Amino acid sequence: MDNIDPTKVLYIAGAGRSGSTLLGTILGSIHQFCDIGEVHYLLDRGIQLNQLCACQVPLQNCDFWSHVIGNHPTTFDEQTISHLLDLRNSVSRFRHIPLHALNCSMKFQQRTKTYGEFLGQLYSIIRKSTGATVIIDSSKRVHGHVLAQIPNVKLYTLHLVRDSRASAYSWTRQKAYEPTAKQLSYMPTISTHSSSVHWMLDNLSAELLKSKTAHYFFLRYEDFVMNPQYEIKRILTFIEEEPDQLPFVSERDVRLAITHSVSGNPSRFHDGDVHIKEDEVWKIKLSQKDRAIVTFLTWPLLKRYGYI
């Protein structure tokens, strides 16, 4: 482990389909900020399946990740990857939230520490090779509880929340995962029941981090898309960074850089000028029945976050 200042990691917490890919890409377009996407999936979707990096090159052929993997002390052979995936799956699932909260199992703590060391080394190599002052990890879900225990990581948790009904609608839409791939693959779809449960657990997991870590910031996606530049400035204040320039060409138009993010929404493949606006299609397309189901299953947090 490197004996230098801890690496600053901005972790986007919360539920899937909440706009974290766009937020991560905007932040990753700031000079000396590095967006690496959903690192939780680096080993399986990234290395094993060799899915596209956001630079549109298969991950194992991408110069950025080739360098990181090549310099990591881990040998990324099949057996080691399988072992690391077992380790990840034994500490990073919804059912592990109580164990992270209670911190009472030595065996569980040891597994978290070992997987955390793997991640800590990864961030350290990325920081060294890019000179980045901030690494953005948009893994969401339970991943942040592992990050919170890595000694050489200074963790900033950005809890991003989107209306559960918008998120549920997004989970029902069939969307091409890798638009440029020869064989089209699609992003997973799940029922409104499942997405409601995921939404509750993901947000509760993020809230739990609030009590465990020193740096926590809450942001509603809807507020972000209304005033993106303003909210990015608030995030910069939160992470104690003052970059010379922001990637905005106007309040709601942003110039996205090519990043090397892993997994996530296919919008990560977009670079260049993008106009930011709220996607409100769900208000028309989500059936009354599904809307009622999602509202019923998620109402305590919908109310808490000011959506109802």
- CA–CA separation, 198 and 190 (whole Å): 10
Q: Which of 62, 119, 135, 160 binds Zn ion (CB under 5 A)?
A: 62
Residue 260, interface with Zn ion (CB under 5 A)?
yes
Q: Restricting to residues 94-153, name those near Zn ion by CB under 5 A.
A: none
Least CB distance from residue 258 to Zn ion, whole Å? 8
Q: Which of 53, 142, 225, 254 binds Zn ion (CB under 5 A)?
A: 53
Q: Which residues contact 220 (CB under 8 A, 6 or more apart)?
A: 160, 161, 162, 305, 306
Q: Which residues contact 94 (CB under 8 A, 6 or more apart)?
A: 141, 142, 201, 205
Residue 155, interface with Zn ion (CB under 5 A)?
no
- CA–CA separation, 28 and 223 (whole Å): 20
Least CB distance from residue 28 to Zn ion, whole Å? 12
Q: Which of 34, 52, 55, 200 binds Zn ion (CB under 5 A)?
A: 55
- Give me the 204-243 binding string for Zn ion, x by CB under 5 A, dash otherwise: ----------------------------------------
Q: Given the complex with Zn ion, which of 13 and 55 has the nearer CB atom? A: 55
Q: Given the complex with Zn ion, which of 20 and 51 has the nearer CB atom? A: 51
Q: Where are the beta strands (DSSP E) in the chain?
A: 7-13, 33-37, 134-137, 153-161, 216-220, 248-250, 253-256, 272-275
Stretch that binds Zn ion, among 49-57, 75-83, 207-215, 275-283 (CB under 5 A): 49-57
Q: Given the complex with Zn ion, which of 128 and 234 has the nearer CB atom? A: 128
Q: Which amino acid is at 203?
A: N
Query: How buried is 130 (Cβ within 10 angstroms: 0-12 exposed, 13-18 middle, 19+ buried)?
Result: middle
Strand 216-220's sheet: what is its strand order? 33-37, 134-137, 7-13, 153-161, 216-220
Q: Given the complex with Zn ion, which of 123 and 216 has the nearer CB atom? A: 123
Stretch that binds Zn ion, among 17-25, 35-43, 54-62, 114-122 (CB under 5 A): 54-62
Q: 205 and 13 in contact (C-beta within 8 Å)?
A: yes
> Would you tell me which residues interact with Zn ion (CB under 5 A)?
53, 55, 62, 64, 260
